Amino acid sequence: MDKEMSMKESEKIRVAIFGASGYAGYELYRILKKHRNVYISYLTAETSAGKKIDDIFPTIDDGQIVRNEDVDINDLDAVFLSLPHGAAKSVVEKIVDSNKRVRIIDLSADYRFDDADEYERWYGKKHTSPDFLDDFVYGLTEINREAIYRAQFVANPGCYPTAAILGVYPLLRTKLIDLSEPIIIDAKSGVTGAGRKADVRYLFAEVNENVSPYNIGYVHRHTGEIEQELKKVANADVKIIFSPHLVPVTRGMLNTIYVKLHHELPTSELAHIFSKNYENENFVKVLTGLRGESEAVATFQHTMNTNLCVISVKKVENSPYAIVVSSIDNLGKGAAGQAVQNFNVMFGLDESEGLL
């Protein structure tokens, strides 16, 4: 295989995946195993330490799982943290205290907020390491690419915020949105977004043949994350209404976004604005409908098992409203895929490496 040919093992970037027994952690492992510049030094998982990957997941891979504390930070160039919220702190501390510029890509919400008060508001508890907040760059690659390149620490965005922000960004930065009305985000998510925990709510017989809204009405934690980032883009106050729904699908996510524009704009012009905005992106694709497809609309299937965000946009007839549909795989661009994309940016690699 050319993986070996292209780079000697000693020259590879040595990484650890913390939390490899979860869905996002395992997806990181699956992607990074094929990444030509990466050597995976450690897989960790607290309760599964001592087991092998194929004791946990239906696969034939016998990668060994160790405890978090078994990881020697000095042996590493980068760590991916796919731990429960609140657990990243101890690893961050170790790395800060070490002499080495070990990069961190943290998939938890711990360092996504700029402000510890906002964290407390949405997560209902005091932040335990607010001093680190300034050290983390918000890792929505397409918007913060330069800062990510320079950063040692990246806070990987939530899945809903990734789809939502990419779906609103081109209209918001061009000042086309009438912000006197809220941006309404009606989201549908596959169940792996909730993580791999033994909880009756996520049993097959509860999720199957069901669609469930949850945390609607300005309650869900991602509301704050989305508003924070949109405000920076708009340089103005942005109010969103965010309504997530659980659907009986393993992986996938769709945000259906309703925005009021200052003026009516035809679908073709809206599509052009999105296409133009993302024309140089590998992982954001716009269904323009310009080729004449009867209905060019983003679906779960457009992005499943990929790192893509696929977007479609449509004017509402006789109305200043537009509807954006933004699709990602919640484990791809919504978690592990974007984490690797950020990793690639941080190390100056081809941004697509390992992701095609």
Residue nearer to a second copy on the CB measure, 114 or 181? 181
Q: Which amino acid is at 83?
A: L
Residue nearer to a second copy on the CB measure, 130 or 320? 320
Residue 96 burial (CB count, 10 A): 15
Residue nearer to a second copy on the CB measure, 112 or 302? 302
**Quick check: is 309 catalytic?**
no
**Which runs of E-coded beta strand occur in 230-351?**
240-246, 253-260, 284-287, 309-315, 321-328
CB of 356 to a second copy, least distance (A): 7
From first CA to last CA, the distance across the chain in angstroms is 17
Query: DSSP letter string over 278-302?
Result: TTT-SSEEEE--TT--S-----GGG
Residue nearer to a second copy on the CB measure, 98 or 210? 210
Q: Biggest alpha carbon distance in the chain?
A: 62
Residue nearer to a second copy on the CB measure, 56 or 151? 56
CB of 185 to a second copy, least distance (A): 10
Residue nearer to a second copy on the CB measure, 104 or 259? 259
Question: Which one, of 19, 31, 71, 53, lies nearest residue 341 by Cα?
Answer: 31
Instruction: Name the DSSP letter for residue 177.
Output: B
CB of 196 to a second copy, least distance (A): 6
Residue corresponding to tokens 């209404």:
241
- Phi, psi (5° rounding) for residue 234? -80, -20
DSSP 3-state of 20: coil
Sheet holding 321-328, edge to edge: 212-213, 240-246, 183-189, 253-260, 321-328, 309-315, 284-287
Among 45, 91, 159, 310, which one carries the catalytic annotation? 159
Residue nearer to a second copy on the CB measure, 227 or 229? 227
CB of 336 to a second copy, least distance (A): 15
326, 254 Cβ separation under 8 angstroms: yes
Q: How far is the C-alpha of 296 from the C-alpha of 268, rounded, in Å?
A: 12
CB of 151 to a second copy, least distance (A): 26
CB of 216 to a second copy, least distance (A): 5
Q: How far is the C-alpha of 73 from the C-alpha of 171, rounded, in Å?
A: 43
Q: How far is the C-alpha of 192 from the C-alpha of 252, rounded, in Å?
A: 8
CB of 159 to a second copy, least distance (A): 14
**Cα dihedral 52→21→338→31 (10° resolution):** 20
Which residues are annotated as catalytic?
159
